[in-house]
Amino acid sequence: MNYAFQPQQPEKHKIFVSFHNADQAYRQAFDQLFGNHFISMSVDFGDIEPESDDDYIKRLIREEHIVNSSVVFALYGAETHKRKHVDWEISAALSEKVGGHKGLVVLLLPTFPVQPFNALGQYDVSLISQYLHPRTAANLQNGFELRNSFSL
């Protein structure tokens, strides 16, 4: 009999990456660095017609991408807080109506305008809140995880 040990591959999480189009290079780097460890549920360039109605875009992203993911990674650069779709995507991920609460991880990109640490080196979400969507800031204050700096 052959009792060779066959290591079991861990199940890959399905993740949704939310980001501003100006940070496309960081999104691609994220996929290149970590793509072997997850199944992407993200919207890719060309998946959605930019002229589409906002309600249609929200529904499509929610029903075909976010509902099937287990974690949302929000890549925050200098302009991300200006993109309404990021706020919608985070809202959908955290809504029980969309299929339960997903995990939320916020990654501050090198282009993010401020550091989240005070003069004592302690994490202080109030320093970055004005550069986040209000929903993201509120969730970080309530214990969701923040990762600082993602470099290429």
Q: Give the structural domain span for 51.
A: 13-148
Is 50 exceeded by the pLDDT of residue 128? yes
User: pLDDT category, 2, cuts 50, 70, 90?
Assistant: low
Is 50 exceeded by the pLDDT of residue 84? yes
Calculate the CA 1 to chain-centre distance.
48
DSSP 8-state symbol, 83: -
Within a domain: 7 = no
In this predicted model, which residue has the larger pLDDT, 68 or 31?
A: 31
pLDDT of residue 1: 57
> Based on the structure, what is the number of domains in the chain?
1
pLDDT of residue 22: 92
Within a domain: 3 = no
pLDDT of residue 76: 94
Within a domain: 37 = yes
What is the spatial distance between Cα 20 and Cα 112, in angstroms, rounded to a whole number? 12
pLDDT of residue 150: 46
pLDDT in tens, 92-117: 888 777 656 678 888 999 999 998 88
What is the spatial distance between Cα 24 and Cα 40, in angstroms, rounded to a whole number? 15
Q: How many helices (H) and strands (E) does the chain have?
A: 4, 5
CATH number, domain containing residue 60? 3.40.50.450
Listed in sequence order, the residues at least 6 apart from 113 whose beta carbon sits closer than 8 Å to its beta carbon are 78, 131
Within a domain: 103 = yes
pLDDT in tens, 25-49: 999 999 999 989 898 888 877 677 7
Within a domain: 40 = yes
**What pTM was estimated for this model as a whole?**
0.80
pLDDT in tens, 73-83: 999 999 999 88
Q: Looking at residues 103-132, what average pLDDT do you find?
A: 89
Within a domain: 61 = yes
